Amino acid sequence: MTTDAVTPPLLTVEHLTMRFGGLLAIDDLSFEAADRKITALIGPNGAGKTTVFNCITGFYKPTQGRITLHHGDTGAEFLLERMDDFRITQKAKVARTFQNIRLFGGMTVLENLLVAQHNTLMLASRFTIGGIFGIAGYKHAERESIELAKYWLEKVRLTERADDPASDLPYGGQRRLEIARAMCTMPKLLCLDEPAAGLNPRESQELNELLQYIRDQHRIGVLLIEHDMSVVMGISDHIVVLDYGQKISDGTPEEVRRDPNVIRAYLGVDEEEEIPEIEGAAP
Amino acid sequence: MAEAGKAGGLNLAATIKDCLLAGLVALAIFGPTLGLVTIPGPGGLDLVQRWTPVAIAVALVVGGRFLLHVFWWNREPGEGAVAGARAAVTLRLVGLGRYAGPALLAFAVALPFLPFADRYILDLSILVLTYVMLGWGLNIVVGLAGLLDLGYVAFYAVGAYSYALIAQHFGWSFWVCLPLAGLFAAFFGVILGFPVLRLRGDYLAIVTLAFGEIVRVVLLNWYTFTNGPDGISGIPRPSFFGLPFDRLGDVTFHKTFGLEYSSLHRIIFLYFLILILALVTNFVTVRLRRLPVGRAWEALREDEIACRSLGLNTTNTKLTAFAMGAMFAGFAGSFFATRQGFISPESFVFMESALVLAIVVLGGMGSQIGVVIAAVVMIGGFEVFREAEQFRMLIFGLAMVSIMVWRPRGLIAVRTPSVFLKEKKVISADLVQEGHG
């Protein structure tokens, strides 16, 4: 019923600044990520993309700025910069993956997905005390969480490998498992840090389909850091471009593709013949 | 020799050079240790030289190394085969484990009634079982949660002193004091847990080590409360549901059951007491592993940052691990107090922590049956080599080194998954993280 103008976006980042000693990693960055949309965060190496992620998911406390998460269904609001990292996942429902995959390598694929449902299961086991005595409620909850795990295993095509240790999976499988694990926390916002890194073209095509499925069927927002332009341009609804900690462009893929600032940031330094043309076009 | 040379390309000159070098090292080590003996003489200590044992030792090293060159390092398959053999041994041990568990349990239950079970054997078994229980308790902290705790004996001491002091001052029975001792120890576990939560790896180990020493020093110096170095004596002995194991008295165990009095009754009772306590520890640990908290411990050992990204409260998770481990140490401590009847800070030195940790590491971190085997080997081994006197520690150290070379991840170097969809596959320890605190 409400119009877009009234409903606040899923994620609002305002005047975010992150300073490490003398280094200004993020400089007064503001952007929004809409619900049920894929927002991509791109930029050259060292632009501060992962730092933004770490601020949103609570791994860093920003020097300045405000990060607000708004749940569309309940209307609840969370000020992420004030929350502990694990509470951001638990209460504000933000899940993330890592640039260098962080799976529980010695645990099976299924166990990885059950650890992600820890908070639900902990409650069901009455904080372990009920679980030790084997209350029926816990058994039921465990069956349900295994069902959820099976659902995601099927979605990322790892059902056959469910009982294998996570570090035995091939690289692409580990990437997919990390996304499945993040989805098992039932997030409202899924933050993916370079999910296509190291994937072959066929695998990154599958990743596109998976992310679109998550957006459309699970109706959540996706925030994506990515270098692979076939992924970024193919599926993003909205792109934010960072360079040296500042936002240099913001818009739809078409707009960003044509933005001279973006072209300069990506190509201008290396290919000198491009510069005069852009400089001429800029004013 | 020609055949050996053909088989694997044995370089004779290099081999002999290597053997002689090893002999030189052996001479440097065994020369002073075996060759020189101090004997109290009239004018102080006399130095006696014995070069025959040195010659034998050096010859053994040179010969042994030469044989290794010819028959072992010269084999065709090399590294892959060694790794394969290791995996095969692991699988065999796992297969064995399926039957070893129930078999060991049956043996443990039957032990006091076997013909050879005299007082010495029973006392030794009680000691072994105490360490099995401590090992299982520490396994939660070190093996599952991956937090290196070098001050585990502190909780053992808290349990022992809790029981001794409560029983002396209030006269409460063992069965009331036991849970209290566990609670106190768990409380201390949480107290230790809070300051060390931010620490990882080596730093955590140092602080837990210091904590163990603090507890011991406080026990030693707080004379008015703990009786200091004099210790606490006259700690009440346990009774069989109110029936004391006394020779005299109207209502005693042997009179009620119409038995001839025997001092062994109490020993057998203590034996079953610690067996039950240890089995409870095992049962709870195995159960916890399949619950969310146990999986969270293991996830914490694998990757703490990933845990936090999944909404796990790592603070609470670490605290529960510390508290759980400490609680079982507290139970074991109060058992120790009631069994000895006397405790003093001398029983709770760092050596005990190191011994329990060695049992956990030797058994294979996280493996329940491994802890049992390691405790039997370590504590039993100590007794078997008692006659070797000062060489006991040497033999012991040698055994530890060779086991760590042969099986670097412990005797049972596999992890069993806590849940499975179709088929339970064991996970090689090579894939499992050791934890960074």
Residues B137, B230, single domain; the answer is yes
Q: Do A104 and B425 touch (CB under 8 A)?
A: no
The ipTM (two decimal places) reads 0.85
**Is residue A59 within a helix (H) or strand (E), and if so which, with residue range?**
none
Q: Which CATH class is domain A1-93+187-252?
A: alpha beta
pLDDT for residue A85: 80
Query: Which residues of chain A neighbour B295 with C-beta distances below 8 Å?
Result: 107, 111, 114-115, 118
Query: Which residues of chain A neighbour B145 with C-beta distances below 8 Å?
Result: none
**Mean pLDDT taken over chain B:** 82
Residue B10's pLDDT band (cuts 50, 70, 90): low
Which pLDDT tens digit goes with each residue over B202-224? 888 888 899 999 999 999 898 88
Long-range CB contacts (< 8 A, 24+ apart) of B278-285? B278/B129, B278/B132, B278/B133, B278/B136, B279/B105, B281/B133, B281/B136, B281/B137, B281/B328, B281/B331, B282/B136, B282/B368, B284/A132, B284/B324, B285/B136, B285/B139, B285/B140, B285/B144, B285/B368
Q: Do A165 and B431 touch (CB under 8 A)?
A: yes
Query: Which residues of chain A neighbour B309 with C-beta distances below 8 Å?
Result: 57, 59, 85, 89, 95-96, 98, 102, 182
Please name the member of A85, A131, A163 whose beta carbon is closest to the beta carbon of B291: A131
Please name the member of B305, B310, B415 whose beta carbon is closest to the beta carbon of A115: B310
In a mutagenesis test of the B interface, which of A99, A118, A192 is the best target, namely the one with the most B β-carbons within 10 Å? A118
Q: Please say which residue of B76, B95, B110 terminates a domain.
A: B76
* B368 found inside a domain: yes
* pLDDT over 50 at B39, yes or no: yes
Please name the member of A57, A125, A162 whose beta carbon is closest to the beta carbon of B421: A162
Q: Please say which residue of B76, B105, B138 terminates a domain.
A: B76
pLDDT for residue B138: 93
Query: Which residues of chain A neighbour B422 with C-beta distances below 8 Å?
Result: 162-163
Which pLDDT tens digit goes with each residue over A83-107? 888 888 888 888 989 988 898 988 8
Q: Please say which residue of B76, B107, B137 terminates a domain.
A: B76
With a threshold of 0.90, does the pTM exceed it?
no
Amino acid (one-letter) located at B248: L
Residue B6's pLDDT band (cuts 50, 70, 90): very low
Residues B36, B126, single domain; the answer is no
Q: Do B308 and A59 touch (CB under 8 A)?
A: yes
Q: Do B419 and A114 touch (CB under 8 A)?
A: yes
pLDDT for residue A279: 43
Which pLDDT tens digit goes with each residue over B62-98? 888 888 888 777 665 555 555 555 566 666 666 666 6
* pLDDT over 50 at A282, yes or no: no
Query: Which residues of chain A neighbour B296 with C-beta distances below 8 Å?
Result: 115, 118, 122
pLDDT for residue B387: 75
Work out the percent of chain B whose per-residue pLDDT is above 90: 16
CA distances from B180 to B155, B176, B327, B363 (A): 13, 7, 10, 30
Interface check B416 vs A, CB under 8 A: no
- Residues 303 through 362 of chain B touching chain A, CB cutoff 8 Å: 303, 305-314, 320
* C-alpha–C-alpha distance, residues A108 and B431, integer Å: 11
* pLDDT over 80 at A220, yes or no: yes
Give me the residues paired with residue A16 across strands: A29
* B98 found inside a domain: no
Q: Do A111 and B423 touch (CB under 8 A)?
A: no
Residue B156's pLDDT band (cuts 50, 70, 90): very high
Interface check A208 vs B, CB under 8 A: no
pLDDT for residue A28: 87
Query: Which residues of chain B neighbour A86 with C-beta distances below 8 Å?
Result: 307-308, 310-314
Residues B337, B224, single domain; the answer is yes
Does residue A241 contact residue A262 with C-beta atoms inside 8 Å? yes
Q: Which residue has the higher pLDDT, A65 or B198?
A: A65
* B94 found inside a domain: no
A278, with CB counted inside 10 A (0-12, 13-18, 19+), is: middle
Q: Do B431 and A96 touch (CB under 8 A)?
A: no
* pLDDT over 50 at B7, yes or no: no
pLDDT for residue B82: 54
* B169 found inside a domain: yes
State mean pLDDT over A35-55. Answer: 87
Please state the domain extents for chain A.
Answer: 1-93+187-252, 107-186
* B397 found inside a domain: yes
Please name the member of B312, B313, B417 whose beta carbon is closest to the beta carbon of A111: B417
* Nearest chain A residue (CA) to B423: A163
* B335 found inside a domain: yes
Backbone angles phi, psi at B259, to 5 degrees: -105, 160
* B436 found inside a domain: no
* C-alpha–C-alpha distance, residues B141 and B138, integer Å: 5
Interface check B169 vs A, CB under 8 A: no
Residues B37, B129, single domain; the answer is no
pLDDT for residue B106: 85
- Domain hosting residue B339, numbered range: 120-431
pLDDT for residue B331: 94
Does residue A113 contact residue A180 with C-beta atoms inside 8 Å? yes
Work out the percent of chain B whose per-residue pLDDT is above 70: 90
* pLDDT over 70 at B286, yes or no: yes
Query: Which residues of chain B neighbour A108 with C-beta distances below 8 Å?
Result: 417, 419-420, 425, 427
State mean pLDDT over A255-265. Answer: 83
| Greatest C-alpha distance within chain B | 85
